[in-house]
Amino acid sequence: MKAIKTLLLVAVMAVFGSVSAQAGGMFKFGPRVGLTVNEMHFDTSTFDAKNRTGWTAGLMTEFRVPVIGIGFDLSAMYVRRNSSFMAQQNLTKNDRDYIEIPLNLRYNLSLPAVGNFVTPYLAVGPSVSFLTSKKAIDEAYKNKEVDWALNFGIGVQLVKHLDISARYGLGLTNTMKTINKLGGDLPVGATAIKGKNRYWTISAAWLF
């Protein structure tokens, strides 16, 4: 399954890049860097998660359809997501490294007179992240290798080159799971813990 998803993503990137390369001034690309604020969302109130800051860096491409204001952006980012949670009176840190590939549909808002200098936009789209750090958190939990999310964001492009955005990632799949019973048998009716990512990403890109 992982190999199929990887091949699909590579195919999407190849097609997107081929179409964009033929679009002249409608296609831009460049480096992108930013900060992330990550929190684990658990399916039980017995786990108390804490927000922690991480970082991200990589490359971004943008393709804009003329006149109608619709466009896309596609990135390949190295992401450090830091988080921590309290379980059984113990503080557990869960710092992870990913290769993230977000693909967003963008709607660019047209502003009369200043459109060549300031272009705000709305964005939404899927994101897939591949774990590059170790899976084990401790003897009780481990991270999964693939994490899917849905991003919602706003941004602004200044002087047609500086792209600044803030996006919220809503985790769609469980990013971690229990690998053995913590402190003996689980209580009657209890299930293994599951956690999903929730994160903000604030980034800036310079597009050529």
What is the tens place of the pLDDT at every residue in 7-45? Answer: 455 555 555 555 545 545 588 999 999 999 987 777 665
CA 27/CA 203 separation, integer angstroms? 19
Above 80 in pLDDT, residue 59?
yes
CATH, range 2-176+190-206: 2.40.160.20
From 6, 12, 114, select the one nearest 61 (Cα to Cα). 12
What stretches of the chain show up as alpha helix (H) in DSSP? 2-21
Nearest Cα to 108, choosing from 66, 74, 75, 76? 66
pLDDT at 57 over 70: yes
Output the pTM of the full model.
0.79
Identify the pLDDT of residue 105: 96
Q: What pLDDT does 83 receive? A: 80
One-letter amino acid for residue 138 of the chain: D
**Residue 175: which region, alpha, beta or left (left: phi > 0; alpha: psi -120 to 50)?**
alpha
- Is the pLDDT higher at 73 or at 90? 73
75-89, 98-112, 172-186: which range is least confident on average?
Answer: 172-186
Nearest to 74 by CA among 129, 16, 128: 16
More confident of the two residues 81 and 89: 81
The domain locations on the chain are: 2-176+190-206
